[in-house]
Amino acid sequence: MFLNRTVVVGVVTLLLAACGGLPSKIDPPSVSLSDIRIVDVNLMEQTFALKLRVQNPNAFDIPVHGLNYRVDLNGQEVAHGVNNQSFTFPALGEEFVEVRAVTSLNNLLQQLTEMARRGTPSVNYRIRGSFRAGSGLNSIVPLPFDQKGEVGLGSFMGIGKQPPSENKYL
């Protein structure tokens, strides 16, 4: 009797987990950098808000329970982090996600020195990471993203930005 009850509970649990998950074929979302704002500046570190535009090419919603990311400027890692926001990418739609990037004074000075050496008021950037997607027991399905582009110094000052030059997904 006990064995039958255990088997029934196990089968029901597996069925519920299967129903709550994502489809097996998921096209990765398209991610682009939409905006950069200065949030806080002090002597030791600076905080920027990065606004990401995420487009879902799938015919179903994608529930997300966080993300991790890394930001490189001119080939050097300047920030990385995690975010535990929960949101849903609507089917065949888009959503904006804002993350905070913290950089040190040393990293910022290195980037300014590089810009002066190159004689250009812009930096090459790369933002990559993965969303933690799914629901129920399948809430740790990684959806990777990797986007490259160039941004002008005016973007950091709120003046404007150049569009991304390349958008690549893993």
**Whole-angstrom distance, CA of residue 115 vs CA of residue 166:** 20
170 residues of the chain, pLDDT tens digit each = 544 454 443 433 333 334 445 556 888 888 888 888 889 988 888 888 989 999 999 999 999 988 999 988 888 888 888 888 888 999 999 999 999 988 888 887 887 787 778 777 777 889 999 999 887 655 578 899 999 988 776 554 444 444 444 544 44
The CATH number for 2-168, chosen from 1.10.3470.10, 2.60.40.10, 3.40.50.300, 3.40.50.720, is 2.60.40.10
Cα distances (Å, whole numbers) of residue 142 to 10, 78, 130, 145: 26, 23, 6, 10
